A and B are shown apart, each in its own frame.
Chain A
């Protein structure tokens, strides 16, 4: 009985941790956003849908792909020239 109760407890704790984590973040942020003066009262109190990990991963992937496309272009010549010119100045 004691053993079983313990293992159920462990299982629930794991599940709750995973499920609750984003929720906690949102609650804390809502408070901050309110102080921030950025959100209206309606925005602050409206519950947000919980985002799955896969959705977050997909957004992160697209964001990085778009960003890295530019990073991989390196330093354009006119920018390199500008930096060189500015760093030679007195």
Chain B
């Protein structure tokens, strides 16, 4: 049985965003390419489990996310400090991760725990709702919100863009908000 061309086109239409997700998640273009190919292999060989009319991007993202996480767990067993090593790898091969201007951001993103990283990307870049992101990650909506908040706070720390000096014009607003909240 050949694949319905409409379904095939839905898959193809998701590929650009799926690649962006894979690269942001893994921080490595080669690994991301493997992840995308493996995802498509699995998806198209199990296309019967996709219900036409439901969310194709969410379905493909779920497969890729689970592949990435099982790979990550495997690596974690092999390497003691998986996060640290991962960030180091990224630092020494910036050419693998795309344009230099995003290097600082990518390095910071790589330092986040994977659950926070995936939540932030899904909601902040892929444009999924909190509900869809929760479905993709297999957790509660509140957990996704919490992870996104933590990811933002940590990134602001890492990128040092939380200092008041970075946002001079906003200083009075911040002062008012801080005063109003405390009183």
The interface of chain A, by Cβ under 8 A from chain B, is 12, 15-16, 18-20, 22-23, 25-26, 28-30, 32-33, 36, 38, 48-52, 54-56, 58-60, 62-76, 79-80, 82-84, 86-90
Range for the number of chain B residues in contact with chain A? 35 or more
* B170 touching A56, Cβ below 8 Å: no
* B124 touching A51, Cβ below 8 Å: no
The SS class assigned to the B binding surface is: helix
7 sampled A-B residue pairs with Cβ under 8 A: A18-B180, A28-B146, A36-B139, A38-B115, A52-B167, A54-B170, A65-B102
The SS class assigned to the A binding surface is: helix
- Complex Cα distance, B148 from A28, in Å, reads 13
A52-B121 in contact given A36-B143, A73-B19 (Cβ < 8 Å): no
Partner of A67, one of B37, B125, B146, B162: B125
* B140 touching A63, Cβ below 8 Å: no
* B16 touching A25, Cβ below 8 Å: no
* B155 touching A66, Cβ below 8 Å: no
* A29 touching B167, Cβ below 8 Å: no
* A23 touching B181, Cβ below 8 Å: yes
B84 at the interface (CB under 8 A from A): no
Partner of B150, one of A29, A63, A83, A88: A29
Contacts A58-B161, A86-B40, A87-B3 aside, 20 further interface pairs with beta carbons under 8 A come to A19-B180, A19-B181, A25-B146, A32-B142, A33-B150, A36-B146, A38-B113, A50-B177, A52-B167, A52-B170, A54-B167, A59-B156, A60-B124, A64-B125, A68-B20, A69-B20, A70-B20, A71-B17, A83-B40, A87-B5
